[in-house]
Chains A and B, each alone.
Chain A
Amino acid sequence: MIGIGVVPGMAKAKTYLLDEDAFLDEKKIVDDPETEYQRFLAAKEVCAAQLEEIMKAMPETMAADSREIFDYQLLLLEDTGFLGMIRTAVENDHTNCEYAVTIAAQKYITLFENMDNDYLKQRTIDMVDISRRLNAILTGREQKTLSGIMEDSIVAAEDLTPSQTAGINRDRVKGILLERGGSSSHSVIIARAMDIPCIVGITRLLDQAVHGETVIMNGTTGEVTPNPTPEQIREYEVYAAKAELEKQQLDQYRKCKTETLDGAKLQVYANITSETDVTALLENGGEGVGLFRTEFLYMAGETLPSEELQYKVYSSIAKKLEGKPLIIRTLDAGGDKNIASLGIEKEENPFLGYRAIRYCLDHPELFKMQIAAVLRAGAWGNTAFMLPMIATIDEVRRTRAMAEEVQAELASKGIPHTATIRMGMMVETPAAAFDAERFAREVDFFSIGTNDLTQYLFAADRMNQRVTGLNSYFQPTLLRAIKHICQCGKQNGIEVDICGQAGEIPSLVPIWVAIGIDNLSVSIPSIPRVRKIIRETRKSDAEAVLEKVLELDTAQEVERFLGQQFR
């Protein structure tokens, strides 16, 4: 089986099949519809009590988003349309209430699915969730959730509902396989937040997966191997042993300084998506947050995060970092990140469309909320803004003016906030790269977003498999562009970071050292590995290699040459 790997990493465990089907309940004819309906009403009360219970058990920071989902489900239980349909089926057609619940839910699901509105399509999961819960109560069968899993498992399901993930047992759930689910679905966000390897879009998964059967999954390639052969198990064990050994060897690189053999100092930051990442970042020796992807705050909930919620999250992270930098990227909506609650229309070319700073500057109310939250969090630590998708000087100036306005408002209201507006920009459009010298005069730091910079530089969609060859970080054109950006930054006395995937590619790390990059912001597990490479690099040697690399013509030549130079 194969699907789309959305959270990388390999896992081997027994399959835990979550194959509940809300629509299994058969139609039965009851003799006494009145008593039957009373049975439903009693189940409804139990259901409401369970939902209240789940909401109460949620940690506070998660609550604001996730609690809304259950609050909405509580209203579904009181919905006269939904209830009326169940009542009619029981009282007029004398059907059992399990069947009545199923039909009523199915009717709304069909209605939602036929609407031209992505947000409404996502609401089907709540109908499925509530009808399953009701039917579990009615039949007295146990509802399978991920909180009760006692042995190491790889969960296989069609998709996961909010109820199922609410108490997910992260120590036991080693991987998640889904038949449905896009990269921004509820289940994937949870998997990503908890760093559980995850594969979505596996065709006919539920027909093929067997509960209790051992399976190996690879969240990087999307491969699923049920009943692995001894040979495949050995391969996995080699991987697992290597991963474990590497982890041990890298232990010493968690705490030491980041400097080259000849004393050049850098810092290794990490990219985070939520507050829960900070503990792992500190454990791995991250020297700061080089990129906080705030869009996940916007994706996690059904609604937009308020200024208060954002302030709570940002300030809490800033405190935990104890003075280490926290670079907060302002909302980078659009492109491959569809945020349902923003209601951005589908576009022909989302990567070239209405996204990130373009959207934010057009929605000052929304943007100012985030700016205010960042400025307020600045009272608790070392925070900075980072603006995504900057293509014109004007965008930087308008944002700065807006930040100054917000700052004045906070001051007039006597709300504590930072007095300095530290504002950096992502360099990811060819316009910003080409004119880096001008941009460097406008901002406090550069952060090179190599993923987007590469796709825009080569005009090659990074989601399109057929042009992946163009999207290579070994393209000499890209390396020359990055060198140019870095030089422009240095000439203006600002720091230059890399926060894209290229920052952690082993054979490129010495190149970044040679180019003079100040900070590399990498994925959390890669922090010690990147630091190890830096500590084993001599900057003067790397500079000599860089000189030769910049003379090469093709990505293949660069990759081969670097492979020879740095093992």
Chain B
Amino acid sequence: MIAMELKILNEFGIHARVASRIVRCAGSFASSVCVKKEGEVFDLKTVLGVITLNAKYGESLTIEVEGPDEAEAAKTLEELFAMKFGEN
């Protein structure tokens, strides 16, 4: 399992379009992708999981990736967060 800390860099937090992108990205890997926040587990492979996470600008998320392609999945997610999910 890979655990990493990623920050929400786009100013407007996770809205519908960003959520859609995260889900499409996480969903393309076999590994599970989750966030633990306040004792709850949010599945980043589902759009409602991402949305109900209620993550805001500047917030750091501890993301856990586990599975056969975890290294690649972690790397891709890291890039997606760093490029602010493709938002300008």
Across the interface, A341 reaches (CB within 8 A) one of B12, B24, B56, namely B12
* Interface presence of A81 (CB below 8 A): yes
* In the complex, chain B residues whose CB is within 8 Å of the CB of A76: 47-48
* In the complex, chain B residues whose CB is within 8 Å of the CB of A71: 17, 20
* In the complex, chain A residues whose CB is within 8 Å of the CB of B45: 80
Query: A302-B17, A341-B12 in contact; A369/B48 too (CB < 8 A)?
Result: no
How distant is B84 from chain A, measured CB to nearest CB, in Å?
Answer: 9
Chain B 32-67 interface mask (CB, 8 Å, partner A; 1/0): 000000000001011111011010110000000000
Apart from A123-B51, A341-B12, A342-B11: 13 A-B pairs, beta carbons within 8 A = A69-B16, A71-B20, A75-B20, A75-B47, A79-B48, A81-B49, A123-B16, A302-B16, A303-B18, A304-B12, A307-B88, A343-B56, A363-B11
B15, A341: Cβ atoms closer than 8 Å: yes
* CA–CA, A267 and B29, complex, Å: 61
* Interface presence of A236 (CB below 8 A): no
* In the complex, chain B residues whose CB is within 8 Å of the CB of A351: none
6 A-B interface contacts by CB (under 8 A): A68-B17, A75-B24, A120-B54, A303-B16, A343-B12, A369-B88
A81, B88: Cβ atoms closer than 8 Å: no
A79, B47: Cβ atoms closer than 8 Å: yes
B17, A108: Cβ atoms closer than 8 Å: no
B13, A111: Cβ atoms closer than 8 Å: no
Instruction: For the complex of A and B, list the 7 residue pairs with the smallest distance between their C-beta atoms, beginning with the closest.
Output: A75-B47, A303-B17, A72-B16, A302-B16, A79-B46, A79-B48, A80-B46
A302, B15: Cβ atoms closer than 8 Å: yes
Q: Among the interface residues B13, B48, B49, which one has the most CB atoms of the partner chain A within 10 A?
A: B48
Which residues 276-319 of A have a CB within 8 angstroms of B? 302-304, 306-307
* CA–CA, A304 and B11, complex, Å: 10
* Interface presence of A115 (CB below 8 A): yes
* In the complex, chain B residues whose CB is within 8 Å of the CB of A120: 51-52, 54
B20, A72: Cβ atoms closer than 8 Å: yes
* CA–CA, A64 and B56, complex, Å: 23
* CA–CA, A75 and B23, complex, Å: 8
Chain A 97-130 interface mask (CB, 8 Å, partner B; 1/0): 0000000000010011001010110010000000
* Interface presence of A82 (CB below 8 A): yes
* In the complex, chain B residues whose CB is within 8 Å of the CB of A303: 12, 15-18, 87
* In the complex, chain A residues whose CB is within 8 Å of the CB of B47: 72, 75-76, 78-79
B11, A365: Cβ atoms closer than 8 Å: yes
* CA–CA, A120 and B48, complex, Å: 11
When C-beta atoms are compared, the residue in chain B nearest to A303 turns out to be B17
The interface size of chain A toward B, counting residues with CB under 8 Å, comes to: 32
* Interface presence of A366 (CB below 8 A): yes
* CA–CA, A117 and B43, complex, Å: 20
* Interface presence of B74 (CB below 8 A): no
Chain A 249-272 interface mask (CB, 8 Å, partner B; 1/0): 000000000000000000000000
Which of B's residues lie within 8 Å of A, judged by CB?
Answer: 11-13, 15-20, 23-24, 43, 45-49, 51-52, 54, 56-57, 87-88
Q: Among the interface residues B18, B20, B87, which one has the most CB atoms of the partner chain A within 10 A?
A: B20
Across the interface, A81 reaches (CB within 8 A) one of B13, B16, B43, B54, namely B43
Which residues 493-549 of A have a CB within 8 angstroms of B? none
* In the complex, chain A residues whose CB is within 8 Å of the CB of B56: 343
A115, B12: Cβ atoms closer than 8 Å: no
A117, B54: Cβ atoms closer than 8 Å: yes
How distant is A286 from chain B, measured CB to nearest CB, in Å?
Answer: 32
Which residues 66-94 of A have a CB within 8 angstroms of B? 68-69, 71-72, 75-76, 78-82
B43, A304: Cβ atoms closer than 8 Å: no
* In the complex, chain B residues whose CB is within 8 Å of the CB of A307: 88
* In the complex, chain B residues whose CB is within 8 Å of the CB of A363: 11
When C-beta atoms are compared, the residue in chain A nearest to B45 turns out to be A80
Query: A302-B15, A304-B12 in contact; A80/B43 too (CB < 8 A)?
Result: yes
When C-beta atoms are compared, the residue in chain A nearest to B57 turns out to be A343
* In the complex, chain A residues whose CB is within 8 Å of the CB of B19: 72, 75
* In the complex, chain A residues whose CB is within 8 Å of the CB of B11: 342-343, 363, 365-366
* CA–CA, A64 and B33, complex, Å: 29
* CA–CA, A67 and B56, complex, Å: 24
Across the interface, B16 reaches (CB within 8 A) one of A68, A78, A306, A343, namely A68
* CA–CA, A82 and B88, complex, Å: 31
* In the complex, chain A residues whose CB is within 8 Å of the CB of B12: 303-304, 341-343
* In the complex, chain A residues whose CB is within 8 Å of the CB of B17: 68, 71-72, 302-303
When C-beta atoms are compared, the residue in chain B nearest to A339 turns out to be B12
When C-beta atoms are compared, the residue in chain B nearest to A80 turns out to be B46
Q: Among the interface residues A69, A75, A117, which one has the most CB atoms of the partner chain B within 10 A?
A: A75
* CA–CA, A278 and B52, complex, Å: 40
How distant is B73 from chain A, measured CB to nearest CB, in Å?
Answer: 17
* CA–CA, A363 and B11, complex, Å: 8
* CA–CA, A80 and B87, complex, Å: 26
A343, B48: Cβ atoms closer than 8 Å: no
Across the interface, A82 reaches (CB within 8 A) one of B20, B48, B87, namely B48
Which residues 336-358 of A have a CB within 8 angstroms of B? 340-343
* CA–CA, A119 and B52, complex, Å: 11
Query: A71-B20, A306-B88, A369-B88 in contact; A119/B48 too (CB < 8 A)?
Result: no
